[in-house]
Amino acid sequence: MNKIFETPLYGYRRHADQDMTTPATHTVAIIGAGPVGLATAIDLAQHGIKSVVLDDNDKVSFGSRAICFAKRTLEIADRLGFGDPLVDKGVVWNLGKVFFDDRKVYEFNLLPEDGHKRPAFINLQQYYFEEYLVRRARELDIDIRGKSKVTSVVPGEDHVTLDVDTADGPYQIQADWVIACDGAGSPTRSMMGLDFVGRVFEDNFLIADVTMDAEFPTERWFWFDPPFNRGQSALLHKQPDGVWRIDLQLGWDIDKEEEKKPENVIPRLKAMLGDDVNFELEWVSIYTFQCRRMEKFRHGRVIFAGDSAHQVSPFGARGANSGLQDVDNLGWKLAAVIKGQAQDALLDTYDIERIHGADENILNSSRSTDFITPKSDTSRIFRDAVLDLSEKYAFARPLVNSGRLSMPCSYDGMPLNGVDAVPDAPARSRPGMPCPDAPYQGEYLLSHLGGTFTLLALNTKCPEDIKIDGFTISTIGACTKEAAHHALAERYLGDAQQAVYLIRPDQHVVARWPEYDETAVKDAIKTALGENL
């Protein structure tokens, strides 16, 4: 059994900052060494910005927690330099089965499109995700301080003062910027007296991670109202190391402490898996959830990212995946502001773009929850009618909602977007969209994008290494007449003959034109840096 989450990975070590008579100053302090905090530190480090990461713990998260990592997260992880270990270790799945009562009503295949480096999803315990992040952070010499609890956050005019508590007593530091990645229960949010409003769902779910020798296929199985959990739902999903995630809906009026006891958990699992299956419990937890977000994610020099800023129900794997999209959005903007390449106002667009993302996730996960747990007799009647019909008729299957799996967010109509001057090009690569991957020069396109602004020239020429406002814009290009670039043409040209794309450091499209025009590109970069806000 894996006990990585019991081993300290960034144990407490006394730091010179603790012996200073006046508080040490840092450019960026990150509160929380979970997936969002560590990924932020890595993104900033890749932009040449140092940060200090403070966490009240000293190890990766306890239990498997988040287990579904979406393609976009893997692409972001690739850009941050830890994509390979995730995919090497993770379990790839495509097939999902939906059961209603005692029968299978239908199955779906995520049918991954060819020509992408990464699969649609992998399943991986959160502790592995964090372990690989810590490893990557170590390569970049990131200052992670374990058992260092932030007890006070005081924003000032041009810096933020933090009190940090340790085994050796408290000390103070000052940071120009603070990124609060301290989870749904964010102490930073409470210390600053900020709101976190939304909808509470009156339901409890039992998560049991078990190791077993049974041969269930690598598929996602979801039950509505099964005989072994009447009136409720159930989920079975595979993780690496022979670990299975079992999720059983329990309803509202339960005694959590009682339900968590092995003597109560084991009979439930036996009823589901059959008496003859041998299994061992790795982790048991009971959770309730809310769908809510902060009114604003940016509060001057303190910026919230991940669960501290927004919380969703687990259906659809939109928690950790949306947190990584926050990081992707914030990293380059904060780096540009710190380096003086962009005005402070650029950070307000983190709010605009990621609040839009959070609202999309809250909408989707609330709808899934309403389908899984009907709130009235009538909604249950319709829900059951959909499930009954789905067995026989294809039309009803898109209505079945056991979680709408996390898809990358598009920033349609947002202020950093430039023009779409190629009307015949496909909608999937319009301004605001994350770039779809495609085979490119024997590799994959996304490996060549990100970190900086990039011009992608297809069947037309762009000058190389253009400098605009002190930025070096990287230029890549391809002729799509070659058969190997078929997918590139389909995803970026459609019916158009040629195009020039301007792509942001987070791989989202800024603008596209039929050909290179220096003035147009300059204007678009200014827009993307928030100069027209």
Partner 1 sequence: MTDLILTPNIAKADDFYASLLSAHEGLSKEDSDAFNARLILILANHIGDSAVIEAALEAAKQ
- Report how far apart the first and last C-alpha atoms of the chain are (Å, whole number): 53
Work out how close the CB of 389 gets to partner 1 at its nearest, in angstroms, rounded to a whole number. Answer: 6
Q: Is 389 in the site for partner 1 (CB under 8 A)?
A: yes
Residue with Cβ nearer partner 1 (396 or 520)? 396
Structure tokens at 145: 């301080």
Candidate ranges 193-201, 209-217, 246-254, 395-403; the one touching partner 1 (CB under 8 A): 395-403
Residue with Cβ nearer partner 1 (252 or 393)? 393
Q: Is 479 in the site for partner 1 (CB under 8 A)?
A: no
Candidate ranges 226-234, 316-324, 350-358, 383-391; the one touching partner 1 (CB under 8 A): 383-391
Of these, 395, 427, 465, 495, which contacts partner 1 (CB under 8 A)?
395
Of these, 62, 216, 252, 382, which contacts partner 1 (CB under 8 A)?
382
Q: Comparing C-alpha atoms, which of 173, 126, 122 is closest to residue 150?
A: 173
Residue with Cβ nearer partner 1 (242 or 374)? 374
CA angle 93, 99, 103 (to 5 degrees): 130
Of these, 184, 254, 396, 484, which contacts partner 1 (CB under 8 A)?
396
Candidate ranges 92-100, 125-133, 298-306, 392-400; the one touching partner 1 (CB under 8 A): 392-400
Residue with Cβ nearer partner 1 (252 or 382)? 382
Work out how close the CB of 2 gets to partner 1 at its nearest, in angstroms, rounded to a whole number. Answer: 45
Q: Is 363 in the site for partner 1 (CB under 8 A)?
A: no
DSSP state of 140: T
Candidate ranges 230-238, 279-287, 388-396, 431-439; the one touching partner 1 (CB under 8 A): 388-396
Residue with Cβ nearer partner 1 (214 or 385)? 385
Q: Is 520 in the site for partner 1 (CB under 8 A)?
A: no
- Residues with Cβ within 8 Å of 182's Cβ and at least 6 positions away in sequence, in order, are 31, 32, 34, 37, 150, 188, 189, 308
- Residues with Cβ within 8 Å of 329's Cβ and at least 6 positions away in sequence, in order, are 350, 353, 354, 357, 506
Give the count of residues interacting with partner 1 (CB under 8 A).
Answer: 11
Question: 3-state SS string over 38-76?
Answer: HHHHHHHHHCCCCEEEECCCCCCCCCCCCCEEEHHHHHH
Site string for partner 1, 260-299 (x = CB under 8 A): ----------------------------------------
Candidate ranges 151-159, 277-285, 350-358, 376-384; the one touching partner 1 (CB under 8 A): 376-384
Q: Is 386 in the site for partner 1 (CB under 8 A)?
A: yes
Q: Is 385 in the site for partner 1 (CB under 8 A)?
A: yes
User: In Å, how far are 90, 104, 207, 468 from 362, measured between CA atoms?
Assistant: 26, 29, 21, 38
Work out how close the CB of 470 gets to partner 1 at its nearest, in angstroms, rounded to a whole number. Answer: 49
Measured N-to-C along each axis, helices 320-338 and 348-372 cross at an angle, to the nearest 10 degrees, of 180
Residue with Cβ nearer partner 1 (254 or 396)? 396
E strand or H helix that includes residue 163: strand 160-165
Helix (H, G, I), strand (E, B) or coil at 81: coil
Of these, 1, 4, 200, 381, which contacts partner 1 (CB under 8 A)?
381
Q: Comparing C-alpha atoms, which of 407, 498, 508, 496 is closest to residue 460?
A: 498
Work out how close the CB of 75 gets to partner 1 at its nearest, in angstroms, rounded to a whole number. Answer: 33
Of these, 140, 154, 352, 399, which contacts partner 1 (CB under 8 A)?
399
Residue with Cβ nearer partner 1 (398 or 463)? 398
DSSP state of 271: H
Residue with Cβ nearer partner 1 (385 or 533)? 385
E strand or H helix that includes residue 381: helix 377-392
Structure tokens at 25: 């100053």
Work out how close the CB of 376 gets to partner 1 at its nearest, in angstroms, rounded to a whole number. Answer: 12
CA 407 to chain centre: 10
CA torsion sign for 360, 74, 47, 526 is negative
Could you identify the residue written with the tokens 């590109």? 521
CA angle 34, 297, 69 (to 5 degrees): 40
Residue with Cβ nearer partner 1 (101 or 523)? 101
Measured CA to CA, the distance from residue 175 to residue 173 in angstroms comes to 7
Candidate ranges 30-38, 81-89, 380-388, 430-438; the one touching partner 1 (CB under 8 A): 380-388
Candidate ranges 8-16, 172-180, 379-387, 504-512; the one touching partner 1 (CB under 8 A): 379-387
Contact 195/295 with Cβ under 8 angstroms? yes
Helix (H, G, I), strand (E, B) or coil at 181: coil
Q: Is 384 in the site for partner 1 (CB under 8 A)?
A: yes
Could you identify the residue written with the tokens 């990293």? 331
Measured CA to CA, the distance from residue 358 to residue 343 in angstroms comes to 24
**What residues make contact with partner 1 under the rule CB under 8 A?**
381-382, 384-386, 388-389, 393, 395-396, 399
